[in-house]
């Protein structure tokens, strides 16, 4: 199979990376398809199975781990596992597309290590931890305990920024949208 390219957007939760991923997906000339991850967590709000995630129960998730179905997987939050299915990358490459990932920092670096030439790993940096916490609260999807867990994890993740190919500062969303398109365009050229 002809390999396409892999665009990884990783960031602490609340950094705005999902908005940037959606923006990139709208640029038809980049030929990007979203890698739908599998997760053992429950669907939130309007999330749909097979669109936002493949929602699996923990037993099925663990079976997929034993079958070596994942390129990488992690217990990102206590009791909630997330993973990138090999079949997702193969599905997108088979139709001649490039894959875009919205995954956590450790998972992003893990994929970059396995595909050093094919992958561009971008770290999306929020302006500050305070802003990130505000964004998580504005989402109104998490309990206070979950928000605190996410803020603590985000703070640890900031240290990984320098291991990425590029750092994108998401201070002003319109500027960040333009910057990310330029980065991806340059890489795909």
Residues in contact with ligand 5GP by the rule CB under 6 A: 13, 37, 41, 72, 74, 76, 82-84, 102-104, 107
Q: Which CB atom, from 16 or from 107, has the smaller least distance to ligand 5GP?
A: 107
Of 136 and 184, nearer to ligand 5GP (C-beta) is 136
Count of residues in the chain: 189
* Dihedral sign computed on CA atoms, order 168, 172, 173, 176: negative
Residue nearest to ligand 5GP (CB): 107
* Least Å from the CB of residue 164 to ligand 5GP: 14
Shorter beta-carbon distance to ligand 5GP: residue 30 or 64: 64
Taking the complex as a whole, the smallest distance from the CB of residue 2 to ligand 5GP amounts, in Å, to 23
Instruction: Report d(CA 69, CA 71) in Å as an integer.
Output: 7
**Among the residues of the chain, which ranges form H helices?**
17-25, 58-66, 86-94, 105-114, 129-139, 144-157, 173-188
Cβ distance to ligand 5GP smaller for residue 18 or 31:
18
- Which DSSP letter does residue 104 get? -
């Amino acid at each position: 199979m002809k390999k396409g390219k892999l665009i990884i957007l990783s960031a602490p939760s609340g950094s705005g990376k999902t908005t940037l991923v959606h923006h990139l997906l709208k640029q038809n000339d980049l030929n990007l398809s979203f890698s739908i991850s599998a997760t053992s967590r429950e669907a939130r709000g309007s999330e749909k199975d097979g669109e936002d995630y493949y929602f699996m129960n923990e037993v099925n998730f663990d079976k997929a781990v034993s079958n070596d179905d994942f390129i990488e997987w992690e217990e990102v939050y206590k009791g909630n596992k997330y993973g990138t299915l090999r079949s997702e990358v193969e599905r997108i490459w088979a139709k001649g597309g490039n894959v875009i990932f919205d995954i956590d920092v450790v998972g992003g670096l893990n994929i970059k290590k396995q595909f050093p030439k094919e992958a561009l790993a971008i770290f999306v940096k929020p302006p500050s931890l305070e802003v990130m916490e505000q964004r998580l609260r504005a989402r109104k999807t998490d309990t206070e305990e979950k928000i605190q867990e996410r803020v603590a994890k985000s703070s640890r993740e900031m240290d990984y920024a320098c291991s990425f190919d590029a750092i994108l500062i998401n201070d002003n969303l319109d500027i960040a949208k333009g910057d990310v398109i330029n980065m991806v365009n340059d890489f795909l050229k």
